[in-house]
């Protein structure tokens, strides 16, 4: 996770209630296809589970995340691995990596900061090195975002601007990657309706906490209730099960 806003992540809640984030990322690890001895950077490593999975293939992995709480939990879980608090816009390493991997992190970087971040990622790679990632894509959580925008507007909050998320189309991100000096090998949108076993309120309190924190406690409770009411007809089934309308953008690029 690399939120560009001031969201303070609860690493324990993230692991306990939203483990689907890194579990879905296992497919992206397969696309990375790390080899023994490679130096790999896990960008936005969160609590380190995918970093550890990559390391099991005997690659030399460094995990970085902007969230100090995430890195603290990662270090506690995997003390033999290298984890550092570092932002995507401020990557600095003396030796280039063979590959950069990222799962569910790049969409936290606002569009205005994407070129600088991609430039830093490009600089962190050796020539011919690969960049394999998955992030939120065009149409991601569209219903959730629409509901929040409608509910928070009367409180004077622009939910989209406050979240500062970036969910690009394949065409848009291809142009950004190419401008940064990458050759795109593959890129695709993947619709992924995602079950939320702990409910929509838990999701909102985790992934839109930075937006909801702008409200007074009493207003926050009201806004949450109104958002759930709007979303229930489309994202909750007759048995009471919630689903998030995820759309992911997955790509494989190489440094020219």
Tens-place pLDDT, residues 119-136: 999 999 999 999 999 999
Beta carbons of 126 and 96 less than 8 angstroms apart: yes
Tokens in use for 240?
Answer: 């009471």
8 Å CB contact between 95 and 82: no
Average pLDDT over residues 96-110: 96
For residue range 9-37, what is the model confidence (pLDDT) as tens digits? 454 554 544 445 666 778 899 999 999 99
Asked if residue 4 has pLDDT above 60, the reply is: no
Please enumerate, as own/partner, the contacts of 17-22 that have beta carbons within 8 Å and a separation of 24 or more.
17/198, 17/202, 17/206, 18/198, 18/202, 18/203, 18/206, 18/207, 20/194, 20/195, 21/46, 21/103, 21/104, 22/46, 22/47, 22/49, 22/50, 22/103, 22/104
CATH architecture of 11-255: 3-Layer(aba) Sandwich (3.40)
**Tokens for 81?**
């691995």
User: What is the C-alpha separation between 147 and 203, in angstroms, rounded?
Assistant: 14
Half-sphere exposure at residue 138, Cβ-oriented, CA atoms within 13 angstroms: 10
Given a contact cutoff of 8 angstroms between Cβ atoms, the answer to whether 152 and 223 are in contact is yes
CB–CB of 248/135 below 8 Å?
Answer: yes
pLDDT of residue 26: 86
Which candidate, 129, 55, 53, 63, places its Cα nearest to that of 102? 63
Q: Which one is predicted more confidently, 106 or 17?
A: 106
Rg (CA), the chain: 18
Question: Phi first, then psi: what are they for 194, rounded to 5°?
Answer: -120, 115
CA–centroid distance for 218 within its chain: 29
Instruction: Identify the burial level of 65 via C-beta atoms within 10 angstroms of its C-beta, where 0-12 means exposed, 13-18 middle and 19 or more buried.
Output: buried
In whole angstroms, give the CA distance from residue 59 to residue 42.
11
145-196 pLDDT, tens digit each: 999 999 999 999 999 999 999 999 999 999 999 999 999 999 999 999 999 9
Share of the chain above pLDDT 90, in %: 88
Residue-averaged pLDDT of the chain: 92
**Widest Cα–Cα separation across the chain:** 55
Domain segments of the chain as ranges: 11-255
Q: At 3, is the pLDDT very low, low, confident or very high (cuts 50, 70, 90)? A: very low
DSSP state of 167: -
Average pLDDT over residues 204-224: 95
pLDDT at 25: 74
């Amino acid at each position: 996770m690399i939120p560009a806003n001031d969201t303070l992540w609860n690493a324990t809640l993230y692991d306990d209630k939203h483990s689907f984030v890194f579990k879905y990322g296992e497919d992206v690890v397969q696309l990375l296809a790390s080899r023994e001895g490679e130096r790999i950077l896990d960008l936005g490593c969160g609590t380190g589970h995918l970093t550890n999975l990559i390391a099991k293939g005997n690659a030399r992995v460094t995990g970085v995340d902007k969230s100090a709480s995430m890195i603290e939990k990662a270090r506690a879980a995997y003390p033999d691995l290298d984890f550092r608090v570092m932002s995507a816009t401020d990557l600095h390493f003396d030796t280039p990596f063979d590959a950069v991997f990222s799962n569910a992190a790049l969409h936290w970087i606002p569009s205005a900061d994407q070129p600088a971040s991609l430039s830093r990622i490009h600089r962190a790679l050796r020539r011919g090195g690969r960049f394999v990632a998955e992030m939120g894509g065009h149409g991601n959580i569209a219903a959730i975002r629409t509901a929040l925008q409608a509910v928070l507007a009367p409180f004077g909050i622009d939910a989209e601007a406050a979240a500062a998320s970036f969910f690009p189309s394949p065409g848009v991100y291809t142009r950004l990657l190419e401008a940064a000096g990458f050759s795109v090998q593959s890129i695709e949108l993947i619709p992924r309706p995602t079950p939320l076993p702990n409910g929509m309120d838990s999701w909102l309190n985790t992934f839109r906490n930075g937006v909801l924190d702008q409200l007074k406690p009493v207003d926050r409770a009201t806004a949450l209730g109104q958002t759930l009411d709007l979303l229930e007809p489309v994202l909750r089934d007759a048995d009471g099960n919630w689903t998030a309308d995820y759309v992911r953008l997955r790509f494989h690029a190489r440094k020219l």
